Amino acid sequence: MRKIVGFALAFCSLSAFGSESNMYVGAGFGVWDYEESEVPEFSLNSAEGHIGYIVNDNLSIEGRVGLGVGDDSVTDDRVKLDLEVDNYLSVYLKPAYSSQNFGVYGLLGFTKAKLSADISYMGISDSISDSDSSFSYGLGAGFSVADGTSISLEWKQLIDADDYELSGFSVGVDFAI
């Protein structure tokens, strides 16, 4: 965790070296599929904020923070399981190719995520919470809708842990600052 915080602080200090036009902020909404063997699939939601620095026309560096805004429940043989994304922190290199008002990009980086589960059976319940971190990657496309404003659609593999995967789609908006 210290490495992530240290990188985020170093990342934020990049703004001192570039003009304001190289920075952008944004927000998004994600729908994630939680997949684990021998466990029903869950669909989870998150809200996300991000800040980015444009290194050059083909590369950006981006930091993202997400918070869970919806959980999913599964009931099987009187066992009820609720699962939610508590939060996540991602750092990405974002190679891109753009032409006029349209661009495509990749995401290559690292994510640390915390998930929580509540399980109940015949009046007995328990809660667990776990954090995992892994290499994270994705693909996206962005469309400029006004000067300094764009919208995006992405697919991301947020977490690829030994025992589960968290991947899905998100939509977002970016603003040049």
3-state secondary structure of 122: coil
Q: Residues 50-96: pLDDT tens digits? A: 999 999 999 999 999 999 998 999 988 888 999 999 999 999 999 99
| Structure-model confidence comparison of residues 79 and 30, the more confident one | 30
Q: Are 55 and 41 in contact (CB under 8 A)?
A: no
How far is 90 from 138, CA to CA, in rounded Å? 12
Number of domains the chain contains: 1
**pLDDT for position 20:** 55
How far is 104 from 140, CA to CA, in rounded Å? 6
Q: Residues 116-170: pLDDT tens digits? A: 999 999 889 999 999 999 999 999 999 999 999 999 999 999 999 989 999 999 9
Q: What DSSP character marks residue 100?
A: T
Total residues belonging to the chain: 177
How far is 44 from 28, CA to CA, in rounded Å? 14
* CATH number (domain holding residue 138): 2.40.160.20
- Is the pLDDT at 19 greater than 60? The verdict is no
Q: What is the mean pLDDT of residues 32-46?
A: 93
Total-model pTM: 0.84
For residue 18, what are the domain limits?
2-176
The residue among 97, 83, 88 whose CA lies nearest residue 65 is 88
The residue among 58, 69, 76 whose CA lies nearest residue 30 is 69
Q: How far is CA 105 from CA 18, 35, 97, in A?
A: 22, 25, 6
Q: Are 30 and 48 in contact (CB under 8 A)?
A: yes
87: amino acid identity, one letter: N
